[in-house]
Amino acid sequence: MNKEVDILVIGGGAAGFFSAIHAKATKPKASVVILEKSNKLLSKVLVSGGGRCNVSHNQPDLTELLKAYPRGKSLLKWVLRKWGVVNTVRWFESHHVSLKTEEDGRMFPSTNDSSTIANALLDAAQNLGIEIITGNGLESLRPHENEFMVQTKEFEFAAKSVIIACGGFPKIEQYHFISNLGIQIEPPVPSLFTFNIPDTQLHDLKGVSTPWGRVKVSGLDGWFEGPILITHWGLSGPAILKASAFLARELHSAAYKYTVLTDWTGMGEEAAREHYISYLLMHSARQISNANPFEFPRKLWEFLLDRAEIKPDKLCRDLSKSEKNKLLEVCVRSEYKANGKTTFKEEFVTAGGVALSEIDANTMQSKKIPNLYFAGEIIDMDGITGGYNFQAAWATGYIAGSSSVKR
């Protein structure tokens, strides 16, 4: 069956819905269709944030906000200026969804239920008269006489503009429908994962966490800060996820085999040493197991004492210089061999996709193919965990949608 449409949006996820809604809201007379491959709309929105949907991150300062994106900064610095966190909050409020901010800045619907977000998007699309076709994925895309021919299982569309918002894919071949048009794709690799550490003694500490630690991958730049959680397969928590995002390409190249250095104190060696030495002097008559200068969870402190080969009943004043040094070393630079990765609450994003240099940040339009737009995770941009990925999807969706109808 043939269909003619002004704006064809590929993908019924966060970016696709936001693109379609803003296209239709900007030009109500335009015919707008969302094409979704699966039979489910907004499936990631629904499962996101553990079923609560972490919609955005309360960071009004653009410079700070951009620090949460390992890839995509050069595009997002323009995009987030046009559609920032405040715009997201206002849009949802104007669609009867109030958002709340948690202590760490993550924003959720006040209902704590991701279906509140999905329903707001579905209602907005329905009220605007956007047509939604499910179970029909784009199979081919071909520019033809100032239009695009898009083939799906059941339809052939002739569309004046196409917005590609079909998320990230694990394999480069899945981007061929875009690269065939001469558009450069950065190879996809996974981002946001936890580190598998095959160390059964560490696994025995599962559930133990430190409120603020730092991690580094040996041989690579940067320490990554935040809470660290020990799991029954290795290390997890915000500091680890941050490292996995910023080092996504390097860790992929290393086939996920590398050495992780963990600063359980989160203080850095110099500050930790200063505190540790004076603490041991002040508590010289205590057994080291009861000293615990960094107030680690008890199980973690006992584990570190064991790693430093120090008997727990030894008095602080009886520690030799080398024992003191070794204990500090395991507190600020414990080494663990990682082998493999696991997802964190099934959350992951794709690093890679449509190269930033291919997109005009003012419109989200392809620089090579007029009237072809991109939004969301299909682009080589991704954030750390905390609501940044949806914020990028809303912002790029808004710009792609509202620009697409200004033809």
Ligand X SMILES: Cc1cc2nc3c(=O)[nH]c(=O)nc-3n(C[C@H](O)[C@H](O)[C@H](O)COP(=O)(O)OP(=O)(O)OC[C@H]3O[C@@H](n4cnc5c(N)ncnc54)[C@H](O)[C@@H]3O)c2cc1C
Contact footprint for ligand X (CB under 6 A): 10-16, 35-38, 43-44, 47-49, 53-54, 137-138, 165-167, 346-349, 376-377, 387-390, 393
What is the 3 state secondary structure string of 308-369?
Answer: CCCCCCCEHHHCCHHHHHHHHHHHHCEEEEEECEECECCECEEEEEECHHHEECCCCEECCC
Question: Minimum distance between the CB of residue 41 and ligand X, rounded to whole angstroms?
Answer: 7
Cβ distance to ligand X smaller for residue 300 or 395 = 395
Look at residue 71 and give its three-state secondary structure: strand
Q: Residue 275 has what DSSP assignment?
A: H
Assess contact for 207 and 230: CB atoms under 8 A: yes
Cβ distance to ligand X smaller for residue 174 or 278 = 174
Cβ distance to ligand X smaller for residue 303 or 374 = 374
Question: Minimum distance between the CB of residue 48 and ligand X, rounded to whole angstroms?
Answer: 3
Alpha carbons 91 and 238: distance in angstroms, whole number: 28
Q: Which residues contact 140 (CB under 8 A, 6 or more apart)?
A: 149, 150, 151, 177
**Closest by alpha carbon to 108, among 20, 45, 64?**
45
DSSP 127-158: HHT-EEE-S----EEEEETTEEEEE-SS-EEE
Cβ distance to ligand X smaller for residue 14 or 130 = 14
Please give the structure tokens belonging to residue 274: 């200063």
Strands (E), 18-139: 32-35, 56-57, 99-101, 106-109, 131-133
Look at residue 394 and give its three-state secondary structure: helix
144-153 long-range contacts, CB within 8 A, separation 24+ = 148/8, 148/371, 148/372, 150/8, 150/10, 150/35, 152/35
Cβ distance to ligand X smaller for residue 43 or 119 = 43
Question: Minimum distance between the CB of residue 195 and ligand X, rounded to whole angstroms?
Answer: 18
Cβ distance to ligand X smaller for residue 138 or 288 = 138
Alpha carbons 127 and 18: distance in angstroms, whole number: 14
Alpha carbons 122 and 18: distance in angstroms, whole number: 10
Please give the structure tokens belonging to residue 255: 């086939």
Cβ distance to ligand X smaller for residue 288 or 354 = 354
Question: Minimum distance between the CB of residue 281 and ligand X, rounded to whole angstroms?
Answer: 46
Cβ distance to ligand X smaller for residue 15 or 99 = 15
Question: Minimum distance between the CB of residue 96 and ligand X, rounded to whole angstroms?
Answer: 21
Cβ distance to ligand X smaller for residue 68 or 230 = 68
Cβ distance to ligand X smaller for residue 293 or 352 = 352
Question: Minimum distance between the CB of residue 266 and ligand X, rounded to whole angstroms?
Answer: 25
Question: Minimum distance between the CB of residue 280 and ligand X, rounded to whole angstroms?
Answer: 43
Question: Minimum distance between the CB of residue 50 and ligand X, rounded to whole angstroms?
Answer: 8
For the beta carbon of residue 298, count every other beta carbon within 10 angstroms.
Answer: 12
Question: Minimum distance between the CB of residue 168 and ligand X, rounded to whole angstroms?
Answer: 7
Q: What share of the chain is helix, strand, coil (3-state, %, to 5)?
A: 40, 25, 35
Question: Minimum distance between the CB of residue 349 and ligand X, rounded to whole angstroms?
Answer: 5
Alpha carbons 237 and 148: distance in angstroms, whole number: 44
